[in-house]
């Protein structure tokens, strides 16, 4: 009898869903690799600029286009800037853009998605219509249009404001770049978030297990916490992971095309674009940012797949 109770109590500790899911994640080698890389990326993005050997802007015209060496691990570019420092700073750009756009798109997505999911009917039909319309617009085209049409106006407006107020805040055109990138990316990405959240709310709310829990008198807060949230959070977490990776690739593509973050602020995209011009002579200038971007993309996809499996009990063995 006592043995029995003991065993029950021990087992109790394993009740937590998060722990179970984490165990599954850890058991998946690719997911662990992805997770470590992603954690490392975040670490670099946060602390990198404090530990870079050189300033990302400081030019050394004596040391242009140098191949990798002990002094410059990834070599230097055509202005003699340290590529490693720039890649590290580029990580910060990528992470800032990724987080802000994912956050923004989630906010819009949660708002739109839960509105549709809760109210149904005409509200829902309107939101679904909006989602479809937005999704049918080619994203690259949208960003270019926004950039071309809005940027000059925004810059003009900021110049005016500077003249009017004398506030140096309005001189910061880097901010315009970032705002436009965040804004347009969030605009492209919210429908996916909205669609997922809408679907989750609609399906979980009417699930039989929610009814069954109500039928045995489980209090509502417990139902929300133990039944509704775990069942809806999986796809949202997976979405966040995928969206972060995707946003980084988008940011790089836009910067590559010159409609995103612009030099001298380093972005992997504009570094790749710079490197591409001289890749036959100095392949290392292209190699470093391209390899890092590829690695990060793969890391996020490994992590996303791992999370998807770990958070879906039907796939557990």
Stated length of the chain: 317
Q: Which residues, at least 6 apart from 156, have a Cβ–Cβ distance to it below 8 Å?
A: none
Q: Is 313 a residue that touches other proteins (CB under 8 A)? A: yes
Map residues 230-269 to x or -, x wherever contact with other proteins holds by CB under 8 A.
xx--------------------------------------
Which of 217-235 are b and which e, b meaning 16 or more Cβ less than 10 Å from the residue's Cβ? eeeeeebeeebbeebbebb
What the block records as the tokens of 24 is 């599954």
Q: Is 13 a residue that touches other proteins (CB under 8 A)? A: no
What the block records as the tokens of 215 is 């039928």
Question: Which H or E element spans position 58?
Answer: none
C-beta closer to other proteins: residue 64 or 207: 207
Map residues 82-121 to x or -, x wherever contact with other proteins holds by CB under 8 A.
---------------------------------------x
- The C-alpha atoms of residue 50 and residue 66 are separated, in whole angstroms, by 23
* Residue 202 CB coordination number (10 Å): 17
Q: Which of 2, 9, 136, 280 binds other proteins (CB under 8 A)?
A: 9
- 198 to 227, contacts with other proteins by CB under 8 A? 206-209, 211-219, 222, 226-227
* Residue 76, helix vs strand vs coil: strand
What the block records as the tokens of 119 is 């109210």
Map residues 150-189 to x or -, x wherever contact with other proteins holds by CB under 8 A.
----------------------------------------
Provide the minimum distance between the beta carbon of 213 and other proteins in the complex, in angstroms, as a whole number: 7
* Residue 82, helix vs strand vs coil: strand
Provide the minimum distance between the beta carbon of 117 and other proteins in the complex, in angstroms, as a whole number: 14
Q: Is 125 a residue that touches other proteins (CB under 8 A)? A: no
Provide the minimum distance between the beta carbon of 15 and other proteins in the complex, in angstroms, as a whole number: 6
What the block records as the tokens of 197 is 């959240």
Could you tell me how many residues of this chain bind other proteins (CB under 8 A)? Answer: 32
- The C-alpha atoms of residue 115 and residue 120 are separated, in whole angstroms, by 8
**Backbone angles phi and psi of 64, in degrees to 5:** -90, 145
CA-to-CA dists, residue 79 to 8, 14, 24, 251, angstroms: 67, 57, 48, 24
C-beta closer to other proteins: residue 136 or 208: 208
C-beta closer to other proteins: residue 62 or 208: 208
- 16 to 55, contacts with other proteins by CB under 8 A? 17
C-beta closer to other proteins: residue 164 or 215: 215
Binding site for other proteins (CB under 8 A): 4-5, 7-9, 11-12, 14-15, 17, 121, 206-209, 211-219, 222, 226-227, 230-231, 313-314, 316
């Amino acid at each position: 009898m006592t043995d029995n109770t003991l065993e029950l109590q021990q087992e109790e500790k394993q009740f937590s869903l998060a722990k179970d899911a984490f165990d599954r994640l850890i058991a998946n080698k690719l997911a662990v690799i992805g997770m470590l890389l992603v954690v490392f990326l975040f670490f670099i993005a946060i602390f990198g600029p404090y530990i870079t050997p050189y300033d990302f802007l400081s030019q050394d015209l004596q040391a242009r286009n140098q191949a990798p060496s002990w002094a410059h691990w990834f070599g230097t570019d055509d202005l003699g800037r340290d590529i490693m420092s720039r890649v590290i700073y580029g990580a910060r750009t990528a992470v800032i853009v990724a987080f802000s756009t994912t956050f923004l798109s989630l906010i819009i997505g949660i708002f739109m998605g839960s509105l549709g999911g809760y109210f149904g009917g005409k509200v829902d039909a309107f939101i679904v219509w909006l989602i479809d319309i937005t999704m049918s617009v080619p994203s690259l085209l949208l960003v270019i249009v926004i950039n071309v049409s809005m940027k000059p106006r925004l810059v003009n407006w900021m110049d005016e404001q500077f003249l009017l107020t004398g506030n140096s805040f309005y001189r910061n055109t880097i901010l315009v770049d970032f705002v436009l990138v965040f804004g347009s990316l969030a605009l492209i990405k919210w429908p996916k978030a909205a669609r997922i959240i809408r679907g989750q709310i609609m399906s979980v709310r009417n699930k039989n297990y929610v009814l069954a829990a109500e039928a045995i008198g489980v209090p509502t807060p417990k139902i929300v916490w133990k039944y509704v949230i775990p069942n809806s959070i999986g796809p949202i977490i997976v979405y966040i992971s995928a969206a972060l990776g995707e946003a980084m690739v988008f940011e790089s593509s836009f910067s590559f095309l010159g409609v995103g973050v612009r030099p001298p602020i380093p972005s992997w995209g504009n570094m790749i674009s710079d490197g591409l011009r001289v890749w036959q002579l100095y392949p290392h200038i292209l190699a470093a940012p391209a390899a890092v971007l590829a690695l990060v993309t793969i890391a996020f996809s490994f992590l996303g797949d791992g999370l998807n499996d770990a958070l879906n009990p039907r796939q557990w063995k």
